[in-house]
Amino acid sequence: MIEVRVKKRALVTGGAGQDGWYLIDLLLSRGYDVFAHSRIAVDPILHGGRVSWRVGSLTDETFLKNLLAETGPDEIYNLAAVSRPAISWDIPIETALLNALVPQRICEYIRRELPACRLFQASSSEIYGDTRTALQDEETRTNPGSPYGISKAYAHQIVGAYRQQYGLHLSCGILFNHESPRRPLNFVSQKIAHAAAAAALGMTETHELDERGKPILSGGKLYLGDINVRRDFGFAGDFVEAMRLIVQHATPADYAVGTGHAHSIAEFCEAAFKVGGLDWTKHVAIDKTLLRKVDSHFTQADPSKLQSQLGWRPKIDFQALVEMMVQERMRILMTSLASADATRPLVATTTWNKAFD
Ligand SMILES: C[C@H]1O[C@H](OP(=O)(O)OP(=O)(O)OC[C@H]2O[C@@H](n3cnc4c(=O)[nH]c(N)nc43)[C@H](O)[C@@H]2O)[C@@H](O)[C@@H](O)C1=O
């Protein structure tokens, strides 16, 4: 019997991460049947219990094949990854398997079993490495410097190769830094937002720990690495809209996904502490142990192709993004202060588990 589907069926890998959250909400609002994968168990009532979750490791070939066979998606959004470039040095083999080989296995499965299925692959501006190019777009030379960047470059190129060779609808979004209140604390944006919120509430010490295993705000100070790095910071909610547009477009292709504006980490601090009326220079200090030996010092997207071909425009600018993040951290901290939970143990935010999306 031929199955007639009324609704489109999407599979989102790494669905429990920041981007998965926004994308699943978007797809549900567009009437999709959503299947989501997570590496670890998730609360089934998330997203109003409207998502069918599958839990397991994508690097397990049998699990991956069963996942694709059982869900039979019309569209796959491959967001699962070791998502922290700095941590990819600690787990380089897992990074290569999950970030590079899994996308290839998905392409191979699509080629053999689901040729009508469309793929969005989450590529990254880390594929450019420490570039000196003023603006980066789809043509910019890839020169990644970390196991993360190298694994993402492999995935980017193999997806493009399968698209060329087999004429399949496989696309990559080269995602520049994208943040939100759902960002884990071990990314610089949320680390700053958290410290700025705590300082605004008059706190000098937070329970949550930083990469060094010390409180994120300690003695009223936030310790950071290189604050001169400039990044193109966008809002994750805007980025998932780009993902959907890319998959809906008649022709598959690669797109740079970023705002086109760059800000330094120092500017992020300035904007974040300003939300509470504070002078960031009194609260931020440098700890050289947080400097990265390999880093991308400057990223700024040229999103012209995405804008002209698909009409994408980010709705949240840098200022609004920072304010949104700091205000949400203030709300969370006030809730926790109100519950007089001051005796709870310090919380590490940099566990191995948090390396994944
Ligand atoms: C595009 C790319 O974007 C993300 O990776 P990331 O850029 O490594 O993210 P991050 O927030 O850890 O670092 C941003 C910058 O901030 C600098 N920085 C300074 N001081 C601290 C600091 O104290 N902590 C951290 N974490 N960073 C610091 C750090 O050196 C780096 O230059 C992922 O979404 C990834 O999946 C992805 O694809």
Convert the pLDDT of each residue in 202-238 to its tens digit.
Answer: 999 999 999 999 999 999 999 999 999 999 999 999 9
> How much is the pTM?
0.95
Active-site annotation holds for 154: no
Q: Measured between alpha carbons, how far is 18 from 37 in angstroms, rounded to an integer? A: 13
Nearest to 55 by CA among 70, 67, 73: 67
Kindly report the backbone phi and psi dihedral angles of residue 54, in degrees, each rounded to the nearest multiple of 5, phi listed first: -125, 130
Question: Residue 341 pLDDT more than 50?
Answer: yes
75 lines ligand 1 (CB under 6 A): no
- For position 250, which CATH number holds? 3.40.50.720
The answer to whether residues 97 and 128 belong to one domain is yes
Task: For residue 39, give the amino acid letter.
Answer: R
The answer to whether residues 227 and 250 belong to one domain is no
Distance from the CA of 112 to the center of ligand 1, in angstroms? 37
229 lines ligand 1 (CB under 6 A): yes
Average pLDDT over the chain reads: 95
Q: Label residue 355 by pLDDT band (50, 70, 90).
A: low
The atom number, within ligand 1, closest to the CA of 292 reads: 30
Convert the pLDDT of each residue in 286-317 to its tens digit.
Answer: 999 999 999 999 999 999 999 999 999 999 99
- 307 inside domain: no
Question: Residue 255 pLDDT more than 90?
Answer: yes
Instruction: Over range 174-183, report the average pLDDT.
Output: 98
The answer to whether residues 198 and 65 belong to one domain is no
Identified catalytic residue from 148, 154, 162, 255: 148
Return the pLDDT at 344: 57
Identified catalytic residue from 126, 179, 208, 241: 126
295 lines ligand 1 (CB under 6 A): yes
The answer to whether residues 143 and 157 belong to one domain is yes
The atom number, within ligand 1, closest to the CA of 296 reads: 32
Q: Measured between alpha carbons, how far is 21 from 28 in angstroms, rounded to an integer? A: 11
Q: Measured between alpha carbons, how far is 328 from 340 in angstroms, rounded to an integer? A: 19
The answer to whether residues 26 and 139 belong to one domain is yes
The answer to whether residues 226 and 238 belong to one domain is no
Question: Residue 351 pLDDT more than 60?
Answer: no
- 309 inside domain: no
The answer to whether residues 61 and 26 belong to one domain is yes
Would you say 194 and 206 are in contact if contact means Cβ atoms under 8 Å apart? yes
Give residue 215's domain range. 188-231+262-299+318-355
Structural domains of the chain, count = 2
Convert the pLDDT of each residue in 3-34 to its tens digit.
Answer: 677 899 999 999 999 999 999 999 999 999 99
Give the pair of three-digit tokens for residue 273.
């502490």
The answer to whether residues 95 and 194 belong to one domain is no
Q: Measured between alpha carbons, how far is 170 from 281 in angstroms, rounded to an integer? A: 46
The answer to whether residues 214 and 93 belong to one domain is no
The answer to whether residues 94 and 216 belong to one domain is no
Return the pLDDT at 352: 36
Kindly report the backbone phi and psi dihedral angles of residue 70, in degrees, each rounded to the nearest multiple of 5, phi listed first: -70, -35
The answer to whether residues 192 and 333 belong to one domain is yes
Active-site annotation holds for 94: no
Would you say 190 and 208 are in contact if contact means Cβ atoms under 8 Å apart? no
Helix residue ranges per DSSP H, the chain: 18-29, 61-71, 92-96, 102-113, 147-166, 188-200, 236-248, 265-275, 304-310, 318-338
* Listed residues 205, 223, 257: the one ending a domain: 257
- 311 inside domain: no
226 lines ligand 1 (CB under 6 A): yes
- 313 inside domain: no
Return the pLDDT at 5: 77
